[in-house]
Amino acid sequence: MTKIIKLHPHQKNADDVPERLLSACKMPAYEKPSDAFHLDHILHGHVAKLTGGISPIALSLAGIDWWAHLMFSPSKQEMLRQSMIEKMTQFGQYAITSSSDAEQELIVTPPSEDHRFVSENWQQWPFNVMQQGFLLSQAWWTEATTSVPGVSDHHLNVASYTVRQILDIASPSNSPFTNPDILQTTKEQGGKNFMQGMLNFMDDVERKKNDKPPLGAGDYIVGKDIAATKGKVVYRNKLIELIQYEPTTEKVHAEPILITPAWIMKYYILDLSPENSLVKYLVDKGYTVFMISWKNPDTCDRDTSLEDYLNLGIGEALTAVKAITTSAHVHGVGYCLGGTLLSIMAAAHARDGDTTLKTITLLASQVDFEEAGEIMLFVDESQVAFLEDVMWNQGYLDKGQMAGAFEMLRPNDLIWSRMINEYMQGKRTPTYDMLVWNADATRMPYRMHSEYLRELFLQNDLAEGRFMVAGAPVALQDIRTPLFCVGTSHDHIAPWKSVYKILLLSESEITFVLTSGGHNAGIVSEPGHKGRTYQMATVPNTAHYVPPGQWKDKTPTQEGSWWDAWEPWLAEHSTQSVAPPPMGDKKDYAAIRDAPGKYVLMV
């Protein structure tokens, strides 16, 4: 196990750091002499700049697998031929009749999540013919890239995804000559929309080149307008700052809350504006709240491991929280990757007989990665090896490379719609707190991200009992701590059915919640937020397993925020009320600076 040098933040050489990390900055990654694949790393790193971090070999393998099996399947080819003839016939009839019949029934309607053709202008001729032709082509290609005998599921998903991206480029909604909304705006403004769109584009290019925040981000200052809940940084090491928030009630619950956010973004998604801050909500309800703020790593942190995130992150934070509050028990809360890490810690505690965690709350967090959603399109052996070469060159995965991958999961919402609205119609998307947070991305250390992708995504070691902590495996089924798990209905990062699989892996009593919204907006779902709903049911550890679809069908839907259902659950699992613990006056945990601290401001 890694030897840890014990120091305290107020000492001259503050920070807890493994010995092997002390020399991490002595030489840049590309000068390390011991790597036999030096040339490969350099080559692949340069190729990645041209491909956006996507492995061309991974795409080629998927394409070859799909094409070869399709060419060897005459029955599938005949089905596609018949389908093409049928669709061309339907389209021809529609194109003729719709020119004189405005009420002509559509041949195909887009999926509910596709908003490109919702405008009434798309129902007018000839734009209705264009969108129907595109949707029919899209439907045919979907048939061509699904149910091809012999193709691996992963390769078939990659082929289908790639075809969708190519088709989206040719969508009539993306051209100013075939999009009726753009033509209408151009007519109304006499072409000024394109002039403004060019200015918008040039401004965005300049901001990206100089790594500036998006337009309007200056209205949201971290520590003043967002991440503004009052508190103190009471501990710092090479990886985290620990924030303790000031109490707002005379009495607090005896058991404090420690929140572990994802390190892929800044922590303040859970402390946005005061009106939608989960931290402020909990503090005002009488809880002592602590938050981990992760350092934004650089080349010097290339060798930081996943176990370092566990020990220097949650491990050191729990030690500090218990010392400050004198409580033997802590409510653990983890969001996204932070929830995965918290699950690992809980399993290690269960293995070792540690009862520190009173309850565990997992927010849009996966522990089984077999069905991890569309993000798995970018995770296979070829892609991970390619990504490791990219990280090897610089010591980390750049925030732009990470953001690009997530944008490609929702290109119509995050790429094409922006191009249409901001560059062709000359409009600017209003800036709001979550948009500012979303642009404030972080980097991923080389070693940690490689371990995370391989051990969790590729090998699914945590779910299958092979994940090692301190030299021994941990098992989620050892956890007996009460669990509160939240999935979001439109999550493209942690699909709720994947989150739901915790019910197969733990012997605890689990309260599962399915809330409306996506990965971020579904979690930041403050009371009073219009249109929010959730479903909630508690599953005793003696109950039989219920599949996710069946659970959803039989669990009633409730109006409002899941926060108001979670807080009573926390209170039920808390003990007496006590006076608030001291703020930053403990010998070993003296206040270092005011919240939000230093690490969250690192770019």
Q: Which stretches does DSSP call E strand in 459-576?
A: 468-469, 472-473, 483-488, 510-515, 533-539, 557-559
Which residues on adjacent β-strands are paired with residue 97? none
Report the pLDDT value the prediction gives residue 47, as an integer from 0 to 100. 82
Q: How far, in whole angstroms, is CA 59 from its chain's centroid?
A: 23
Please report the pLDDT score of residue 391 as a whole number. 85
Which residue in the block uniquely carries the two structure tokens 């339907």? 90
Instruction: Please report, as a single letter, which amino acid is at residue 396.
Output: Y
The mean of the pLDDT values for the chain is 88
566 to 159, 332, 497: CA distances (angstroms):
41, 13, 20
Catalytic residue among 25, 300, 336, 485: 336
Q: At 586, is the pLDDT very low, low, confident or very high (cuts 50, 70, 90)? A: confident
Q: Once rounded to an integer, what is the mean pLDDT over residues 500-512? A: 94
Residue 16 confidence (pLDDT) above 50 = no
In sequence order, what are the beta bridge partners of 260?
Answer: 334
* pLDDT bracket for residue 105 (50, 70, 90): confident
pLDDT(588) > 60? yes
- Band (pLDDT 50/70/90 cuts) for residue 401 is low
Q: What is the pLDDT of residues 510-545, one digit of tens each?
A: 999 999 999 999 999 999 999 999 999 999 988 899
Active site residue 336: yes
Please state the rounded mean pLDDT for residues 263-267.
92
Average pLDDT of 83-94?
94
Question: The tokens of 316 are what?
Answer: 């050191």
For the stretch 200-219, pLDDT in tens is: 999 989 888 887 888 888 88
Could you tell me if 200 and 428 are in contact, meaning their C-beta atoms sit under 8 angstroms apart?
yes
Is the per-residue pLDDT at 304 higher than 80? Answer: yes
Q: Quick: pLDDT tens for 347-392.
A: 999 999 999 999 999 999 999 999 887 788 888 888 888 888 888 8
Task: Using the predicted structure, report yes or no on whether residue 497 has a pLDDT greater than 80.
Answer: yes
Q: Among 98, 83, 79, 192, which Cα is nearest to 139's? A: 83
For residue 102, what pLDDT band results from cuts at 50, 70 and 90?
low
The Cα–Cα gap between 56 and 51 comes to 7
Q: Which residue segments constitute the domains of the chain, with CATH numbers given?
A: 56-189 (no CATH), 191-220+399-438 (no CATH), 231-397+443-601 (3.40.50.1820)
Q: 260 pLDDT band (50/70/90 cuts)? A: very high
Q: Which contacts (CB < 8 Å, 24+ apart) does range 539-542 have?
A: 539/503, 539/509, 539/510, 539/511, 539/512, 540/509, 541/480, 541/507, 541/508, 541/509, 541/510
- Mean pLDDT, residues 279-294 taken together: 97
Q: 């003296």: which residue's tokens?
A: 590
Of 142, 156, 148, 83, the residue nearest 110 (C-alpha): 142
Structure confidence at residue 405 (pLDDT):
62
Instruction: Report pLDDT for 361.
Output: 98
Q: Which of 28-32, 261-265, 539-543 has the highest mean pLDDT?
A: 261-265
Where in 7-153 does DSSP place strands (E)?
Answer: 17-18
Over residues 486-495, the mean pLDDT reads 93
SS3 state of residue 544: coil
Q: Where residue 27 falls among pLDDT bands split at 50, 70, 90?
A: very low
Q: Is there a cis peptide before residue 596, judged by omega within 30 degrees of 0?
A: yes
Cα 107 to Cα 82, 91, 96, 133, 371, distances in angstroms = 17, 8, 13, 9, 33
- Enter the tokens of residue 219: 């209205």
More confident residue, 586 or 149: 149
460 closest CA partner among 387, 368, 533: 368
Tokens coding 14? 């503050």
Q: Does residue 234 contact residue 589 with C-beta atoms inside 8 Å?
A: yes
Contact of 226 with 220, CB cutoff 8 Å: yes
Closest C-alpha to 480, from 331, 575, 368, 359: 359
Task: Provide the Cα torsion 178, 184, 186, 188; round to 10°.
Answer: 170
pLDDT band for 29, please (50, 70, 90 cuts).
very low
Q: Under 8 Å CB-to-CB from 75, ≥6 apart: which residues?
A: none
Residue bearing tokens 């209905």: 489
